[in-house]
Amino acid sequence: MPKTFLIDTSRCTACRGCQLACKEWHGLPANKTKQFGWGSHQNPQDLNPNNYKLVRFSEHLEDDVVRWNFFPDQCRHCEVAPCKETGDLYREGAIVQDEKTGAILYTDGTRKFSKEQFEEIRESCPYNIPRRNEKTGILSKCTMCNDRVHKGMLPSCVKVCPTGAMAFGERGEMLKLAEERLATVKKRFPNAMLADPDDVMVIYLLTDAPENYHSFAVAAAPQSTMDRKRFLAKLARPVTRMTEKA
Amino acid sequence: MKCDRRSFLKLAGSSAACLSLTQLGVSLSPVRAYAADLKIDGAKEVFTVCPFCSVSCYAIGYVKNGKLVSVEGDPDYPINEGALCAKGAAMFTMTTSHHRVQKPMYRAPYSDKWEEKSWDWVIERIARRVKDTRDKEFVTRNKAGQTVNRIESMFLLGTSHASNEECALTHQFARGLGIVHMDHQARVCHSSTVAALGESFGRGAMTNHWIDIKNADSILIMGSNAAEHHPISFKWVLKAKDKGATVMHVDPKFSRTSARSDFHVPLRSGTDIAFLGGMIKFILDNEKYFKPYVVDYTNASLIVGKDFGFKDGLFTGYDPKTRTYDKSKWDLELDSKGVPKRDKSLKHPRCVFQLLKKHYSRYSLDKVASTTGVSEKNLLRVYEAYTATGTGTKAGTILYALGWTQHTVGVQNIRSSGIIQLLLGNIGIAGGGINALRGEPNVQGSTDHAMLYHILPGYMAMPRGDWGSYDEYNKANTPISNDPQSANWWQHKPKYFASLLKAWYGDSATEKNGFGYEWLPKVDKGEDYSYLFLFDRMYRGEITGGFFMGLNPMNSVPNTNKIRKAMDNLDWVVCSELHNSETTDNWHRPGADPKKIKTEFFLLPSAHRLEKTGSVTNSGRWLLWHAQSIKPQFKARPFGEMYVPILNKIRALYEKEGGALPEAVLKLDWPKAYDPEDLCQRINGRFTRDVVYKGKKYKKDQQVPSFAALADDGSTSSLNWLYSGSWTEEDGNKSLRRDPSQTKMQAKIGLYPNWSWCWPVNRRILYNRASVDLNGKPFNPDKAVIEWKNGKWVGDVPDGGWPPLASGKGKLPFIMHQHGMGHLFGPGRQDGPFPEHYEPAETPVDKNLFSKQLHSPCYKFVTSAPDVLAAPADPKYPIVLTTYSLTEHWCGGGETRNVPNLLEAEPQLYVEMSPELAKEKGIRNGEGVYIESARGRVEAIAMVTIRMRPLKVHGRIIHEIGMPYCFGWTTPGSGDSTNRLTPSVGDPNTTIPEFKACCVNIRKADKLTELAT
For residues B579 and B582, what is the distance between their CA atoms, to the nearest angstrom?
10
pLDDT digits (tens, 9 = 90+) for B537-566: 999 999 999 999 999 999 999 999 999 999
pLDDT band at B22 (very low <50, low <70, confident <90, very high): very low
Contacts 24+ apart (CB under 8 A), B238-243: B238/A11, B238/A163, B238/A164, B239/B213, B239/B214, B240/B213, B240/B214, B240/B215, B240/B216, B240/B431, B243/B214
Measured CA to CA in angstroms, residue A151 lies from A19, A154, B737 at distances of 22, 9, 29
SS3 track for B718-754:
CCCHHHCCCEECCCEEHHHCECCCCCHHHHHHCCCCC
Measured CA to CA in angstroms, residue A135 lies from A26, A106, A132, A139, B357 at distances of 18, 16, 9, 11, 72
pLDDT (0 to 100) of residue B6:
54
pLDDT digits (tens, 9 = 90+) for B960-984: 999 999 999 999 999 999 999 999 9
DSSP state of B717: E
Instruction: Reply yes or no on whether the pLDDT at B10 is more than 80.
Output: no
A238 touches chain B (CB under 8 A): no
A212 touches chain B (CB under 8 A): no
**Nearest CA to CA, how far is B380 from chain A (Å)?**
17
For residues B595 and B531, what is the distance between their CA atoms, to the nearest angstrom?
27
For residues B375 and B606, what is the distance between their CA atoms, to the nearest angstrom?
50
- Mean pLDDT for all residues in chain B: 95
B79 touches chain A (CB under 8 A): no
CATH code for the domain of A215: 3.30.70.20
Cβ of B665: how many Cβ atoms within 10 Å?
A: 24
pLDDT (0 to 100) of residue B439:
85
Question: Smallest Cα–Cα separation from B199: which of B785, B765, B991, B990?
Answer: B990
Number of helical H runs and strand E runs in chain A: 8, 10
pLDDT (0 to 100) of residue B189:
95
Instruction: Reply yes or no on whether the pLDDT at B149 is more than 80.
Output: yes
**What's the average model confidence in pLDDT over A166-185?**
97
Structural domain including A149 reads: 1-29+41-246
Residue type, B378: N
pLDDT digits (tens, 9 = 90+) for B266-307: 999 999 999 999 999 999 999 999 999 999 999 999 999 999
Restricting to A residues 112-151, those with a Cβ less than 8 Å away from any Cβ of B are 143, 146-148, 150-151
Whether residue A49 is contained in a domain is answered as yes
Question: Smallest Cα–Cα separation from B18: which of B9, B26, B27, B31?
Answer: B9
pLDDT band at B441 (very low <50, low <70, confident <90, very high): confident
DSSP state of B810: -
Residue type, B411: V
Tell me what ipTM this predicted complex has: 0.94
pLDDT digits (tens, 9 = 90+) for B630-684: 999 999 999 999 999 999 999 999 999 999 999 999 999 999 999 999 999 999 9
Sign of CA dihedral B419, B420, B425, B430: negative
pLDDT (0 to 100) of residue A220:
81
What are the residues whose beta carbons fall under 8 Å from the beta carbon of B202, sequence distance 6 or more? B489, B767, B814, B815, B816, B817
**Nearest CA to CA, how far is A53 from chain B (Å)?**
12
pLDDT digits (tens, 9 = 90+) for B574-593: 999 999 999 999 999 999 99
**What's the average model confidence in pLDDT over A223-238?**
46
Contacts of B28 in chain A (CB under 8 A): 150
- B780 touches B392 (CB < 8 A): yes
Instruction: Reply yes or no on whether the pLDDT at B204 is more than 50.
Output: yes
pLDDT (0 to 100) of residue A225:
46
| Contact at CB, A105 and B80, closer than 8 angstroms | no
pLDDT (0 to 100) of residue A135:
95
Contacts of A23 in chain B (CB under 8 A): 90, 901
Give, to the nearest 10 degrees, the angle between helix B493-505 and helix B164-177: 80
Measured CA to CA in angstroms, residue B612 lies from B47, B76, B895 at distances of 11, 21, 17
Contacts of A153 in chain B (CB under 8 A): 6-8, 38
Whether residue A179 is contained in a domain is answered as yes
Instruction: Reply yes or no on whether the pLDDT at B811 is more than 80.
Output: yes
Q: What percentage of chain B has pLDDT greater than the value 70? A: 96
First to last CA, chain B: 53
Cβ of B847: how many Cβ atoms within 10 Å?
A: 13
DSSP state of A198: T
Whether residue A169 is contained in a domain is answered as yes
For residues B362 and B473, what is the distance between their CA atoms, to the nearest angstrom?
42
Whether residue A194 is contained in a domain is answered as yes
pLDDT (0 to 100) of residue B37:
85
pLDDT (0 to 100) of residue A232:
45
**What's the average model confidence in pLDDT over B490-517?**
98
For residues B277 and B360, what is the distance between their CA atoms, to the nearest angstrom?
6
Measured CA to CA in angstroms, residue B110 lies from B233, B538, B587 at distances of 48, 19, 9
Per DSSP (E only), the strands in B853-959 are 860-861, 879-884, 910-913, 928-932, 937-944, 951-953, 956-958
pLDDT (0 to 100) of residue B440:
83
Restricting to B residues 840-899, those with a Cβ less than 8 Å away from any Cβ of A are 887-888
pTM as predicted? 0.95
Burial of residue B328 (number of CB atoms within 10 Å: 0-12, 13-18, 19+)? exposed
Restricting to B residues 260-319, those with a Cβ less than 8 Å away from any Cβ of A are 260, 263-264
Restricting to B residues 179-238, those with a Cβ less than 8 Å away from any Cβ of A are 227-228, 231-232, 234-235, 238
- A6 touches A167 (CB < 8 A): yes
Contacts of A19 in chain B (CB under 8 A): 86, 905
pLDDT band at B7 (very low <50, low <70, confident <90, very high): low
Whether residue A34 is contained in a domain is answered as no
Question: Smallest Cα–Cα separation from B956: which of B34, B2, B268?
Answer: B268
Whether residue A35 is contained in a domain is answered as no
| Contact at CB, A70 and B31, closer than 8 angstroms | no
Whether residue A213 is contained in a domain is answered as yes
Contacts of B1011 in chain A (CB under 8 A): 35-36
Which residue among B73, B888, B943 sits closest to A39, beta carbon to beta carbon? B943
**What's the average model confidence in pLDDT over B386-393?**
98
pLDDT (0 to 100) of residue A222:
55
For residues A133 and A123, what is the distance between their CA atoms, to the nearest angstrom?
16
Which H/E stretch holds residue B657? helix B640-657
pLDDT (0 to 100) of residue B24:
34
What are the residues whose beta carbons fall under 8 Å from the beta carbon of B784, sequence distance 6 or more? B430, B745, B748, B749, B771, B778, B795
Cβ of B924: how many Cβ atoms within 10 Å?
A: 14
For residues B86 and B67, what is the distance between their CA atoms, to the nearest angstrom?
23
Whether residue A109 is contained in a domain is answered as yes
Q: What percentage of chain B has pLDDT greater than the value 90? A: 96
Instruction: Reply yes or no on whether the pLDDT at A211 is more than 60.
Output: yes
- B976 touches B967 (CB < 8 A): yes
CA B636 to mean position of chain CA atoms: 27
Residue type, A188: R
First to last CA, chain A: 40
| Contact at CB, B83 and A161, closer than 8 angstroms | yes
Query: How many domains in chain A?
Result: 1
pLDDT digits (tens, 9 = 90+) for B897-931: 999 999 999 999 999 999 999 999 999 999 999 99
